[in-house]
Structure 1
Amino acid sequence: MNFDPVLLAARMPSMKSAGFWRDETINPYFQRALERFPEKIAIVSYRQGEAEPVRLSYRELDRRADLIARGLVDLGVGNSDVVSFQLPNTWEFLAIALACARIGAAANPVMPIFRQHELKFMLRLAESKVFIVPKTFRGFDHEVMGRDLMSELPDLRRLVVLGGDGEDNFERALLRDDTPPLATEALAPDDVLLLMYTSGTTGEPKAVMHTSNTLFSNLHAYIQVMQLSEADIVLGASPMAHLTGFGYLAMLPLILNSTTVLMDIWDPKRALQIARDEGVTFSMASAAFVSDMCLAVENGEQPAPTFTKFNCAGAPIPPVVIERAHRLMGLRISSAWGMTECGAITITEPTRALEKSGVSDGRLVPGIELRVVDANGNPLPAGETGELYIRGASLFAGYLKRPQLNATNDEGWFHTGDLAFIDAEGYLRINGRSKDIVIRGGENIPVMEVENLLYKHPAILTCAIVGYPDKRLGERACAFVTLKPGACFSFEEMSRYLAEQKIAIQYVPERLEILESLPATPSGKLQKFKLRQMAQQFAVDANC
C-alpha cells in the first residue's frame, strides 16, 4: 500500500525540534514495560457471559502479540500492508494492534456495528490483506458476513474468525507456535500506524491516517493535562475501534506502563462492579456512559471510590450530568473536544472540571494551535462564534487516497467544519456544526450516506436527516421526507428498507416525519436549519 501521508513533511522539522514528535512507536514503550514490570497485569479482559476475566501480564501479552505478528507474516502480511479487524473490546484487539506495529503493518480497526454496505467500501479502499472478526457478536454472524465479503474483495487474502472452526480459527491461524521468528522491519515513527474511518459530509467514509508521531504527540499532552501515571487503572468501555478507545484506552495505558480493564459489551451496573473490583481510576467515553452509571447508582448500585476521573468527548456534556456524576459517584468530568483527525486537542483540567466542563470544551493541549475566524478568514475576538481551524503536532497525515479532501491550506491550517468561540480564559466552546452530521452517543452518523439510500426508495421524493437533542445520547436523528404522488411510507417501512440495505442499525433514524414539502430558498436550496428548529419539539415531547 502506498499511503502517501502528504501532511507530514511540512511539519517534521518543527515538530521534532520542539519535542512534540518523539520518534517512538509503541514498541519501545512496551519494551520498557517488559523490563520494568514483566509480571504487572497489562490487560484485564471481561467478556459478557464469562464469570472470570482474562488477565494478561506484560510478559504474557508480549508472548501472544509475538505469536500473532508471526502468524500475520505467515498469512502474507508485510510492511505497509493493512490488517482490518472488527472486534469488540477484548485482549485480542490490543494484541493485534501490537502485532501490526511489530511487522510494520497498519492497524485498521472497524466498528462491530458496520455491515456489508460499509465494510465493502472500507476494506476495498484500504486494500486489506487480512480481516479478523468474531464468530458472532450481539447475535450477529460476522463470519458469514466476512465470507460474503471475501468474494468481492480481491486484495483480501484471509478471513480469521475469533471463536470459529477450521483453519480460519483465530488460535490456529494466529496463535501457532510453529511459525518462524520475526525477521520483518518494525513500524517506523512516521509510518502509518493507524487507519481509522470517519464519516463526513461527502457521503462516504474517509480513512484517517495517523502515524505514531501524530497520535502519540496528543497522548503525551493528554497524559500531562489529565495527570495520569503508571499507577492508574483505565476502564476501556468505549469502543476501541473509535479513536477514543484506540488512543486513550488502548495505546495510552501501554505508554504509561499501566493497566487497562476492557469490557466487550457496555452494562453500567457491571461497569461499576468491575470498577470496584479492579480499582479503576480513570476512563474516557461519551456522556451517555456517565448518565447510565448515574442511573445505576440511583437504582442502588455502589460507586467505585477509586474512580474519580472521567473525560467526556463526542458532544457537549449537560451541566446537570456533571453535577450528578460528582454528587453520586465522586466523579470529576473533564470535557474535551477533538476529531479522529487530531485526537482530543482541548481538555478541561480536572482541577477546574466542576467549574468549566459544563460551559466549555476545554483549553488547548501543548503542540496544537487553533483559530476562530469569520467568513473572510479574519480572526474573531473572544466570545464571537466563527469557523474553527486547527494545526499542529497531532493533526493527521491525510485521508487515504483522497488528498483532495484534506481541507488543509498551505500554512497547515485544517478546517474542522465546526463553529466555535473562545472565552476570555482561552477555553473553547463548540457552538454548532457546519458539517452535516448527527452525533448520536459519540458516534458520527453519516447523514448524506443514509439520505442517499433513502432517496433510492420508490416512495420517496425528497428527504433530509437532522438531529434533535436527547438527554442520554446527545442527539437522535429524524428523517423528514416528501413522497411521490399516491405513495405510502411509514417508520416501519423505513426501518425495514434500511436494514435491507445492510447499514449499521445505529444509522437508522429514530423518527420519521412526512411533509408536503421541505423548506427551501427561492433558488431551491434546502434549509436544514428550519428542519432542525422543527425537530426541537421532539426533544420536548420526549422530556429531554
Structure 2
Amino acid sequence: MDFDAVLIAPRRAASVAAGHWQDRTINDYLAACVRDRPDATALTALSIEREDVTRFTWRELARMADRVAVGLSRLGIVAGDVVSCQLPNGWHLSVLYLACARLGAVLNPVMPIFRERELSFMLAHAQSKVVVVPKAFRGFDHAQMLRGLRDALPALRHVVVMDGDGDDSFEALLSGPAWEDHADAAAILLRSCPGPDDVTQLIYTSGTTGEPKGVMHSANTLFSNIVAYAGRLRLTCDDVVLMASPMAHQTGFMYGLMMPVMLGAHAVLQDIWDPARAAALIRDEGVTFTMGSTPFLTDLARVVAESGVPVPSLRIFLCAGAPIPGALVEQARQALGAKIVSAWGMTENGAVTTTLPEDSDERASTTDGRPLPGVAIRVVDGTGAEVPAGATGRLLVRACSNFGGYLKRPQLNGTDADGWFDTGDLARLNADGYLRIAGRSKDVIIRGGENIPVLEVETLLYRHPAVAQVAIVAYPDARLGERACAFVVPRAGQSIDLAGMVDWLKQQKMALQYIPEKLVVRDALPATPAGKIQKFRLREMLLGDAG
C-alpha cells in the first residue's frame, strides 16, 4: 500500500523543533516498560461475554507481541500492509497493534457494530491483507460474515478468527505457537521497524458524503496528542486506566491502548459496557482514570449512587462526545467523588480541547475546554476572518496531532497551506479561551458518541418502494445525547411505519446503531424555494412535540 499522508512532511521541522514530535514509536515505549518495570501489571482484560479475565505483565505483553508479529509474517504481512480487525476491547486487539508495529504494518480497527455494507467498503478501500474477527460477539457470527465477503475482496489473504476452532483461528495462527523462539524470529522482528512518520494507524470516520474516510496517523501525530493529554491530566505510571469505550474508536485506541504503554501504566479493558461490572473493576483494580461519552458517565454515576458502594480510587472521569448537562456533572461528582473533565476532539486530531483538573465544575458543563499544548484553534466567519469572543463561526484547528490525510482522497483533507484544518463544526470561544461546540455544519448525528452517517441512511431509505422523500435529523436524548428521527413523505397510495422502516434498513445490512429510532410521516417537508429541505424546521418540530 502506498499511503498518501501528504500532511505530515510539511510540518515535520516545526513540530520537532517545538518538541511536540519526539520521534518515538510504540516499540520504543514498550521497550522502556520492559526495561524499567518488566514484572509490573501491564494489562488486565475482562471479557464479560466469555466470563474471563486475562492479565499480562510488561514482559509477557512484549513477548506475546513478538509472537503474534512473527505469526503475521508467516501469513505474508510485511511493512506497509494493512491488517484490519473487528474486535471488542481486549488483549487480542492491544497485542495485534503492538505486533503490527513490530513489522511496520498498519492496523485498521473497525467497529464491531459494522456489517457487510460498511465492511465491504472499508476493507476494499484499505486493501486489507488480513482481517481478525471474533468467532461471534454479542450473538452475531462475525466469522461467517467475513467469509461471505471474501470473494469481493481480492486483496484479502486471510480471515483470522479469535476463539475459533479451526486452522484459521487466532490461537492456531498467531498466539498459540511460540513463534518468537523460531530461528528466524529475530531477523523478522528487526527487519522493518517503522519510523515515527510512517503511517501506523488507519481508522475510518462515518462521513457525510455517503462513504467513510480513512484517517491516516503516524506515531508522531498520535503520541504528540497523548503526551500532552496525559500531561494536562497529570497521569503517570502509577495510574490505572479503565477503557470501556470501544478501542476501534480513536478514544479507546489512543487513550486505552497507546496511552498506558506511553506512561507504563496499568490498562484495564472491558469488552461490553455494563456499569455495575465497571464499578466493580474500578474498585478491584484501583482504577484512577477513565473516559467515555455521556451515557457511560450517566450509567456509572447511577449504579454507584444506587448501590451505595463508593469507588474511592477514581480520580478523573473525562467525558467527551456530547455536551455534559450541568445536573449530570453535579450528580456524577457526588456519586463518584471524581473530577469530571469535559473534552472535544476528532478522529483526525485526537483530543483538541479539555477542561483542566483545577477548573470549576461549572466549566465542564458549559464549555468543552481549552486547547491542549501543541494545538491552536480559530473561530472564523464565511470570509475566514476571526469572529469576536462569544460569536459563533466555523472551527479551524492547527495541531501537532493533525492527521496525515485521508487515504486516497487528498482532495478532501480540508487543510490549508498554513496547516489549518476545517473541522466542519460550528463553535464559539469565550473571553478566557474556552471552546463551546455550537453545532455541526456536517450533517452528522452523534448518538452516544457514535457518528451516524445521515446521507447514507437517507440514500438507503430513498430506495424503499414506499418512500418519496426523506430527511433524517437529530432529536435530543437525556442518555445518548442525540437519537435519529426520519421524516418521510410516502409515495402516492403507499404507507410506511417504524417497524417497516427498521426491517428495510436491516435488510440492507445497515449497522443497527445507525437506524432511526423515530419515524414521522408527513404529506410534505418544509423546503426552500429551490427545493432544499429545511432540516432546522424539522428539528424545531421535534422540539415542539417534546415540549
| Structure-2-length-normalised TM-score | 0.97
**TM-aligned CA deviation for residue 298 of structure 1:** 3.1
- For residues 262 and 392 of structure 1, what CA distance do their matches in structure 2 show? 29
* Higher mean displacement: 184-193 or 136-145: 184-193
Runs of 4 or more off by more than 3 Å in structure 1?
49-52, 537-540
Note if 1:528 corresponds to 2:535.
Answer: yes
Distance in 1 of aligned mates of 2:194 and 2:330: 44
| 1:31 is the counterpart of 2:43 | no
**1:357-389 CA-partner distances (Å, limit 9, x unpaired):** 111000011111110011111111111110100
Structure 1: where are the runs of 5+ without partners? none
- The one of 279, 292, 302 aligned to 2:299: 292
Kept in 2: contact 1:249–1:284 (CA 8 A): no
Aligned AA for 1:381? P
Aligned equivalent of 2:178: 177
* 1:149 equivalent in alignment to 2:149: yes
Q: Is the 8 A contact 2:69 2:102 kept in 1?
A: yes
Equivalence map 1:13-412=2 (5 Å): 13-175=13-175, 176-178=177-179, 180-181=184-185, 182=188, 183-300=190-307, 302-412=309-419
CA drift of 1:238 comes to 0.4
User: Which of these residues, 414, 418, 429, is aligned with residue 425 of structure 2?
Assistant: 418
Cα distance in structure 2, aligned partners of 1:49 and 1:109: 20
What SS does the aligned partner of 1:380 have? coil
Q: RMSD of the alignment, in Å? A: 1.1
**1:93-133 per-position Cα deviation (integer Å, ceiling 9, x unaligned):** 00001001110011100000000000000000000000000
User: Match of 1:177, as an amino acid?
Assistant: A
CA contact 1:469–1:539 (8 Å) conserved in 2: no
Superposition deviation, residue 301 in structure 1: 5.1
Q: Contact 1:84–1:108 (CA<8 Å) still a contact in 2?
A: yes
SS of match in other structure, 1:284: strand
One-letter identity of the residue aligned with 1:157: R
Moved more, 470-479 or 524-533: 524-533
SS in 2 for 1:323: helix
SS in 1 for 2:191: coil
Instruction: Work out which of the residue numbers 426, 444, 459 in structure 2 matches 1:437.
Output: 444
**Residue 359 of structure 2: SS of its match in structure 1?**
helix
Are the counterparts in 1 of residues 25 and 196 from structure 2 also a CA contact under 8 Å?
A: yes
Listed one character per residue, the Cα deviations across residues 321-356 of structure 1 (whole Å, up to 9, x for unaligned) are: 111000111121101011000010101011115131
- SS of residue paired to 2:309: coil
For the Cα contact (< 8 Å) 2:49–2:272, is it kept in 1?
no
TM-score (norm 1): 0.98
5 Å matches for 1:461-472? 461-472=468-479
250-259 or 194-203, which deviates more = 194-203
CA distance 1:401–1:51, change in 2 (3 Å): closer
Structure 1 residues 539 and 133, CA gap change in structure 2 (3 angstroms) = farther
| Structure-1 residue corresponding to 2:434 | 427
Secondary structure of 1:151's aligned partner: helix
Partners of 1:378 and 1:200 lie apart in 2 by: 27
Between the aligned partners of 2:158 and 2:360, the Cα distance in structure 1 is 47
Cα deviation for residue 537 of structure 1 reads 3.9
Query: Contact 1:342 / 1:395 at 8 angstroms: preserved in 2?
Result: yes
Residues 136-173 of structure 1, C-alpha deviation per residue, up to 9 Å, x if partnerless? 00000001001011111000000000011211011111
Q: Is the 8 A contact 1:332 1:353 kept in 2?
A: no
Matches of 2:169 and 2:249, distance apart in 1:
25
Separation in structure 1 between the aligned mates of residue 103 and residue 304 of structure 2, nearest angstrom:
45
Report the Cα offset of residue 26 of structure 1: 0.5
State which of 440, 445, 457 in structure 1 corresponds to 2:464: 457
Which secondary structure does the structure 1 equivalent of 2:201 belong to? strand
The alpha carbon displacement at 1:444 in A equals 0.5
**CA separation in 1, counterparts of 2:153 and 2:49?**
34
